[in-house]
Structure 1
Amino acid sequence: MKNFRSDFLWGGATAANQVEGAYLEDGKGLSVADIVTVGSHTAPRRISLEMKEEYTYPSHTAVDFYHHYKEDIALFAEMGFKAYRMSISWARIFPHGDDAMPNPKGIQFYHDVFAELKKYAIEPIVTISHSDIPLAVGTRYHGWVNKQVIDLYVRYAVTLFEHYKEEVRYWIPFNEINDMFLPMSALGQGALIDPEAQFFTQQKDDPNERFNALNNMMIASAKAVIRGRQINSNFHFGTMICHITRYPRTCHPDDVLLVLKNDLFYNNTCADVMLKGEYPFYALNELEKRGVALQLNDTEKALLKEGVCDYYTFSYYQSISESTQPFSEETSGNIMGGIKNPYLTETEWNWPIDPVGLRTTLLKVYDRYRVPIMITENGIGCVDQLEADGTVHDDYRIAYLRDHLNEMRKAVEDGVDLIGYMAWGCLDLISVSTGEMKKRYGFIYVDRDDEGNGSYRRIKKDSFAWYRKVIASNGTDLT
């Protein structure tokens, strides 16, 4: 039986805007995440360009990793982490995105974090832009719609490469870059800010602007990869795709065709550009049908071809079902939902639970790209109960992760070159979709509520000890 490779990177993942807090401390500027209020599963997050006392802005304090990073990294080390996927806040390095010089205290903070990780031999995997940009880039430049932002991003990325070239080997240019296929995700990626929109889910959408913003992001990624390899030839660059595995709800040929085309367009387009160096025929055809005039010249096409990534990373939370026929029961999910699948159970937030879908995805992705694969987000959001004796019993999380790791192991037996697994939210963090704290993902409970109240005390859940055992056995003991 094939097992996980001996140097398998076991770890966890977070994002700066969901854990750091200290939103204006030590010279950090406002980011887009800082103007979005708390919401819920039924109430959308509000966009508030002017800070108002009656609103709660979750990113302002988040779970205060900024002041607890030593404690948190020590807990990661206690679990046996081999790697930690984190992101850097662009607004902490360049407060307005276009500042003449980087913020020295921001630069130093991440030096300190990397030093702490090194102390425990934990490999940092760094996302350069994790669904957040400096607010000023959005308001002054109209975000990624403006080609000028390409060079602002590259300057930011090169600053990171030069400062951290001895501390970081693994880089991810953008988190879930294909989120840009959906209008409600454009704000999170910093594509554009609609000053008239009141809610996260009510952005005015211009598909031509949105897809050209995505195109600019992919050009920026390629340019950053090229510059990064010039600075350190040992750098590794990965995609980060939000992979929503899709099933036809029926075996009607029309449903099968629908799923095939949607899978190609939504799941494969960005990875094809970032790993093969060019837009696939199906994407160009679909964009033309949608009236999108892609602003891509021959020089930029050459950049895409040169600046390809060398490993594939993706998030996997659930699958969805689709049909050409109407079905009344629907599900939610990471950026999108679908039709209820009668063969699957769901989380409290109505996300389908589908471990076999992870194995399916791994086989498909490895067959298509034949590069090393890393799962950089996977986990389950639940309402965890802190007991009177200070314990958190989260058997449901252990069951979810155990089932997914079992399918990962089967994919390795199938021959997939899987190099790492990062559980999402290794400590509790604020949800990007709802801004809630009660939707918890971590192995570590953080005493904070949806309004930002709490001691911020860290408490080990039952899953903490379980994951420690998994890592110590290199994935052979999942009991």
Structure 2
Amino acid sequence: MNHLKKFPENFLWGAASAANQCEGAWNVHGKGVSISDVMTSGTHKSPRRITPVMDEHAYFYPSHEAVDFYHHYKEDIALCAEMGFNIFRMSVNWTRIFPNGNEAEPNEEGLKFYDSVFSELKKYNIEPLVTIYHNENPFQLTKECNGWKDRRCIDYYMNLCRVLFNRYKDVVKYWIPFNEINCLTTKLGNWNHAGILNEGTEFFTEQADDPSSRFAALHHQFVASAQAVRLGRSINPDFRFGTMICHITVYPLTCSPDDIFLTQQEDLMRNCFSGDVQVKGGYPYYIKRYFERNHIAFEITEQDLTDISEGTVDFYSFSYYMSNCITAQKDAAQVSGNVMGGAKNPYLKATEWDWQIDPKGLRYTLNHVYDRYHIPVMITENGLGARDVLENGRVHDSYRIDYLRRHIEQMRLAIDDGVDLIGYTPWSAMDLVSVSTGEIDKRYGFIYVDRDNRGNGTMKRYRKDSFYWYKQVIESNGENLSFH
């Protein structure tokens, strides 16, 4: 690969995390209850339960302690620095700053925690990439107005943004208003992505759905994102804002025109729609017709459209773990990976959790999104969930190294194709709670955390083999991908 274009000199190498999956300390120093705090643990076979009234005797709530980044952030950031990170993707927990989401004044104790985190990152010259909203809507807003279904959430969210932008205007440059915002195109997005709890919903993977309310919530987030971009730029013109898309790359299972057309429709709805709004600044033609055909109606004001047109993002970021196939065949074999599911690709292998591994799909995706938007691109999640075994203080995760190596090879090929790829923050820096199943045994991190699915363990941190391998990758700016 030496004849290919190299990774840019200022390429951003790091890894990702999320407050609700790693921080723990769910009720200390004034923090309120978030939607993640009322979700029980689960497995690939047994879905997570949403419990409006928590029962800690009957259920285990993994986010309550998670991997306790709240008390281990100095150690964790030092380990990230040892790997050579120059960027660290993290999120803030809304309820740590506004416990109920709707207060007039923020919780100073919560802000002091993030002061300390940013100070620690600065000590090692690591740039924070901050996701403002990452699946931690205040539960009070679910009870008060059923989450983002209600337009009032825009103002509550903007209050949070105002505090963050002013407090950290000289500390944070890169912001993502909403994590995987496009998940609200599916009924699964109701809870995690909007704090919507419809009557009849009991399990995370089996949610009752009202499409008009769900798309109203997505619209409110589009408006909030755009308003945040405008506000942020008024406070610091050097701020850079990105969309964040859960990119479920899709292929037609066969060359049947039916499969090809269905794939095109799936790609437009799931992958392109939200990016089109946030990057291009307006609703695309195909979604307007989709709303008409499916009798989806909600309020869109002229001011909303003005906001959306004036608050477009600076870069496109996305998560990529796998690809799926689409087919009109009713009896095609299925996979359930990343909860979205799809037809099984006969050319790909899958993980224990049914996630199909497709490195070349990442190059395809990078070209796809860059051709569509022509703005800088960042991969903000990419990784392998697997059962790691700790033996004599080490984890030999060659399977993870192989996964990441093959994807980084495809990233370089995409750069050689001409894609303006500026950063890579694989999932995840340290082991943390899986969103889809609530497990910790489904591990992604470079750093092993001694914690199991039932909350047992010492919380001690260990460097995996992938830790040392990724350190070498960063030191060589993506040139040395070998593993011995």
* TM-score, normalisation: structure 1: 0.99
1:362 to 366, 387, 406: 366
Contact 1:191 1:210 in 2 (8 A): no
Separation of aligned partners in 2, 1:169 and 1:36 = 32
SS state at 2:396 partner = coil
Contact 1:179 1:335 in 2 (8 A): no
Note closer, same or farther for the CA distance 1:96–1:353 as it changes in structure 2 (3 Å cut): same
Specify the alignment match of 2:104 in structure 1: 100
Q: How far did 1:327 drift?
A: 3.2
Q: Deviations over 1:334-387 (max 9, x none)?
A: 240111101000111010000000000000111110000000000000000111
Q: For 1:188-199, what aligned pairs fall within 5 Å after superposition? A: 188-194=192-198, 196-199=200-203
1:45 to 37, 41, 48: 48
Contact 2:240 2:314 in 1 (8 A): yes
Specify the alignment match of 1:35 in structure 2: 38
2:152 to 132, 148, 152: 148
Specify the alignment match of 1:403 in structure 2: 406
Q: Deviations over 1:277-335 (max 9, x none)?
A: 00100111112111111421111101100000010000000000010112342112224
2:341 to 320, 337, 347: 337
Computed over aligned residues only, the root mean square deviation of the Cα atoms, in angstroms, reads: 0.9
Contact 1:127 1:174 in 2 (8 A): yes
Separation of aligned partners in 2, 1:403 and 1:295 = 45
Specify the alignment match of 1:287 in structure 2: 291
Specify the alignment match of 2:441 in structure 1: 438
Q: For 1:62-73, what aligned pairs fall within 5 Å after superposition? A: 62-73=66-77
- Would you say 1:256 and 2:238 are equivalent positions? no
Separation of aligned partners in 2, 1:357 and 1:86 = 26
2:245 to 241, 244, 251: 241
Separation of aligned partners in 2, 1:123 and 1:443 = 19
Specify the alignment match of 1:310 in structure 2: 314
Separation of aligned partners in 2, 1:360 and 1:431 = 26
Letter in 1 for 2:474: I
Letter in 1 for 2:122: K
Contact 2:199 2:208 in 1 (8 A): no
Letter in 1 for 2:166: E
Q: Deviations over 1:100-138 (max 9, x none)?
A: 210001011001000000000000000000022111011
Displaced runs of 4 or more, over 3 A: none
Specify the alignment match of 2:426 in structure 1: 423
Separation of aligned partners in 1, 2:133 and 2:53 = 24
Letter in 2 for 1:17: N
Letter in 2 for 1:145: K
Once the two structures are overlaid, the 10-residue window that deviates more, 203-212 or 68-77, is: 203-212
Unaligned runs of 5+ in 1: none
2:116 to 112, 115, 119: 112
Letter in 1 for 2:240: H
Specify the alignment match of 2:161 in structure 1: 157
Q: How far did 1:196 drift?
A: 4.2
Q: How far did 1:179 drift?
A: 0.5
Letter in 1 for 2:473: V
Contact 2:317 2:380 in 1 (8 A): yes
Separation of aligned partners in 1, 2:346 and 2:37 = 39
Contact 2:141 2:195 in 1 (8 A): no
1:171 to 170, 175, 196: 175
Unaligned runs of 5+ in 2: none
SS state at 1:241 partner = strand
Separation of aligned partners in 1, 2:25 and 2:436 = 21
Specify the alignment match of 1:14 in structure 2: 17
Contact 1:398 1:466 in 2 (8 A): yes
Q: How far did 1:198 drift?
A: 2.1
Separation of aligned partners in 2, 1:189 and 1:204 = 15
- Would you say 1:475 and 2:448 are equivalent positions? no
Specify the alignment match of 2:273 in structure 1: 269
Percent identity among equivalent residues? 54
Contact 1:132 1:190 in 2 (8 A): no
1:205 to 204, 209, 228: 209
Q: Aligned residues, how many?
A: 478
